[in-house]
Amino acid sequence: MEVTMEYKGFSYTFDPEKQAMKEAGITELTPENRKNLAGKILEYQKVARHRARAGAVLLWFRDQIGKGIDVSDEDLISAFHEDQKL
């Protein structure tokens, strides 16, 4: 179950299964591996929307810095607190 979020034209996808596999060092998800990783996958599913949202905001932020555009404190604060409305 991938979760993709967008912020000001930048999107980021977070996949709880892939993250759990990466953390456990597993390259293939078999039924046995899935059973062993079920708890970790559930943990990541709970925060998937917020992780995807933060990733999209960070992509936007990196883009703004790369352009040399001044980003106000208010823009940064609102970017990271908008997900509270979800």
Q: What is the pLDDT of residue 80?
A: 65
pLDDT at 81: 65
* Tokens coding 52: 């995807």
Look at residues 54, 51, 56 and name the one whose alpha carbon lies nearest to residue 14.
51
CA dist., res. 49 & res. 15, Å (int) = 10
Boundaries of every domain in the chain? 3-85
**Model pLDDT, residue 86:** 45
Low-confidence ranges of the chain (pLDDT < 70): 67-71, 73, 76-77, 79-86
Residue 15 CA, distance from chain mean position: 8
Tens of pLDDT, residue by residue over 64-79, are 877 655 667 677 667 6
What pLDDT sits at residue 79? 67
